[in-house]
Structure 1
Amino acid sequence: MNTLHVLILALVQGFGELLPVSSSAHVIMTEKLLGLNPSAPEMTMLLVMLHTGTMFAVIAYFWRSWGRTYFASPEAFRRNGLNVVVATGATGVVGLALLHLIKALVAKNRPDFEIEELFGNTKIIAAGLATAGLLILYSSRSAKAKGGEVTGLSALLIGAVQGLCLPFRGLSRSGATISAGLSLGVGRRFAEQFSFALAVVLTPVVVAKEAYRLFKTPAAASAIHTGDAWTLVLPSLLGMSLSFAAGLVALRWLSDWLETDRWYLFGFYCLAASLLVLVLG
């Protein structure tokens, strides 16, 4: 992996993670086209840092708007914080239930099965992209600039939808959760803010899981033991910086299209990308 590879993957991750088009699908297909090994320690470290960069982009972008809503008063903080907790709990329940179901049906309860084994399946990626596209197109008909705020019930349902996204590459988390909010009558800005508040809670868990998988690999342990860990860290720091910058641009793009009735265009993009994945796969 060279500097050009880091640049390409950082831009793909930065835009794909925060636009409703599934970063995982785009990163996986980009790795295939570049001939990279996604299981290599340097690739795993890079993806961990790219996720971190986009998480910081979300915090930087939404900090002021969250301050005017989520942190406006102690009562607002309690109400919105409870909604985030409810949604995250629903995500965990649905995600774990799906994981056990997939393990039973696909892997016949094989003890060493990991969900990552399915991540490179282009048919699953294409199906996920198509599903995200249809959800976006459906929700664009319900989108209201001045819709209601997130309630306890809508938080529960949005969190459950987020849980459905976890095992399936291609099913965009932001696309599905924002679409769920819009379909439930949540206002565009409220749906966007809530979706990315959930992302800030979920991303550290994903990063920690990937970091744990990385440091269990013999190659990573050898790099740490020999003092060559910087060969993993330095390219990843560059990638994190680039994904942060790309993430800020992506969020501005997303907000603009969401607020100017162009949300549906992301749906058409996902459908087109689904067909392309099938062709390239």
Structure 2
Amino acid sequence: MNLLHIFILALVQGLAELLPVSSSAHVVMAEKWLGLDPTAPEMTMLLVMLHTGTMFAVIVYFWRHWQEAYFSSPEAFKRNAWQLLLATAATGVVGLTLLEIIKHVFMAGAPSFEIEQLFGNRIIIASALAAAGILILVSSGLQRRATQHGQPMTTRAALWTGAVQGLCLPFRGFSRSGATISTSMALGVSRPVAEAFSFALAVILTPAVIVKEGYRLVHAHALSSSAAGLSHLLMPGLVGMVLSFLAGLLALRWLSGWLEHGRWHLFGLYCLAFSGVVWVAG
């Protein structure tokens, strides 16, 4: 992996992460087309660092909205914090349960199995993209038949949104933002609230993923006592993080514009089309 590879992957990640089209699927396919191994610890750690860059973009972009919605009063803070906590707990329960099912049912309980081993499977990626596309199209149709403004986030919607986020974790292609925003919208939540809640969940989830992949990288290279070795491995991710941060800000502005102009369904059509590309050319 060289600097050009990092530049390309950072742009792909930054532009696609905050759009409901599965940045992971785009990055994985870009890695495969560049001759890189998406399941290698270095590549999964790079992807996490790219996610970190877009996480900071989310914080910058949504900070004013979160101040108004989440910190406007003690009551609003408690209500929103509780909903985010419930959603994150639902994500953990569903994600960990699904991981155990995959490991013991489909992988025969192999002790060396890691979920990252599935990240380069084009059949899984294509199927997950198709599922995300269908979910986006369904939510778009339901929103058109619902009231124009929708409603605030509810405890029921938060739990379902968190549970669906848990389904996204093992599968590259099942867009996290697309699935969570679609779930909230399908349950009657207004578009701006669904969008902000989805990305708030991403900010909460990202640090845990960073720790997990960082441990996997250190363990794979046995560099836990070598600061110089760790610095060498993390440097590509740090460069990519800055680039994905800048690209992520642009993508967020585009996403909001498309949502506000009723173009949500086009993201679903794109996911279905890209699913076909992955199936044929992956």
TM-score normalized with structure 2 length: 0.94
Confirm whether residue 130 of structure 1 aligns to residue 138 of structure 2: no
Q: For residues 66-106 of structure 1, what are the alpha-carbon distances to aligned partners after superposition, in whole Å with 9 as ceiling and x for unaligned? A: 00101111100000000000111111111111111111221
The one-letter amino acid of 1:116's match is: E
Confirm whether residue 146 of structure 1 aligns to residue 149 of structure 2: yes
| Distance across 1 between alignment mates of 2:13 and 2:37 | 16
| Distance across 2 between alignment mates of 1:41 and 1:110 | 19
Q: How large is the RMSD of aligned CA atoms in angstroms?
A: 1.6
Q: For residues 245-265 of structure 1, what are the alpha-carbon distances to aligned partners after superposition, in whole Å with 9 as ceiling and x for unaligned? A: 111111111111111101111
| Partner of residue 201, structure 1 | 204
Maintained 8 Å contact 1:130/1:274:
yes
Confirm whether residue 64 of structure 1 aligns to residue 67 of structure 2: no
| Distance across 2 between alignment mates of 1:55 and 1:81 | 18
Q: Which runs of 5+ in 1 are unaligned?
A: none
Q: CA 1:75–1:195 in structure 2 vs 1: closer, same or farther (change >3 Å)?
A: same
| Partner of residue 159, structure 1 | 162
| Distance across 1 between alignment mates of 2:106 and 2:83 | 34
Match for 1:211 among 209, 214, 226?
214
| Partner of residue 255, structure 1 | 256
The one-letter amino acid of 1:213's match is: R
| Partner of residue 116, structure 1 | 116
Maintained 8 Å contact 1:126/1:274:
yes
Q: Which moved more, 1:13-22 or 1:62-71?
A: 13-22
The one-letter amino acid of 2:90's match is: A
Identical residues among aligned pairs (%): 64
In the TM superposition, what is the alpha-carbon distance from 1:236 to its structure 2 partner? Answer: 2.3
TM-score normalized with structure 1 length: 0.95
| Partner of residue 105, structure 2 | 105
User: What SS does the corresponding residue of 1:169 show, helix, strand or coil?
Assistant: coil
The one-letter amino acid of 2:67's match is: G
| Partner of residue 247, structure 2 | 246
| Partner of residue 232, structure 1 | 233
In the TM superposition, what is the alpha-carbon distance from 1:228 to its structure 2 partner? Answer: 4.6
Q: CA 1:274–1:192 in structure 2 vs 1: closer, same or farther (change >3 Å)?
A: same
The one-letter amino acid of 1:159's match is: G
Tell me the number of residue pairs that the alignment of Structure 1 and Structure 2 aligns.
279
Q: Which moved more, 1:104-113 or 1:227-236?
A: 227-236
Maintained 8 Å contact 2:41/2:213:
no
| Partner of residue 221, structure 1 | 223
| Distance across 1 between alignment mates of 2:229 and 2:213 | 20
| Partner of residue 182, structure 1 | 185
Q: Which moved more, 1:51-60 or 1:224-233?
A: 224-233
| Distance across 1 between alignment mates of 2:227 and 2:55 | 31
In the TM superposition, what is the alpha-carbon distance from 1:42 to its structure 2 partner? Answer: 4.3
User: What SS does the corresponding residue of 2:88 show, helix, strand or coil?
Assistant: helix
| Distance across 2 between alignment mates of 1:43 and 1:156 | 32
The one-letter amino acid of 1:232's match is: L
Q: For residues 133-189 of structure 1, what are the alpha-carbon distances to aligned partners after superposition, in whole Å with 9 as ceiling and x for unaligned? A: 011111112236511011111111111111111111110000000000110000000
The one-letter amino acid of 2:13's match is: Q
In the TM superposition, what is the alpha-carbon distance from 1:227 to its structure 2 partner? Answer: 3.0
| Distance across 1 between alignment mates of 2:43 and 2:97 | 29
User: What SS does the corresponding residue of 1:221 show, helix, strand or coil?
Assistant: coil
| Distance across 2 between alignment mates of 1:20 and 1:184 | 18
In the TM superposition, what is the alpha-carbon distance from 1:232 to its structure 2 partner? Answer: 2.6
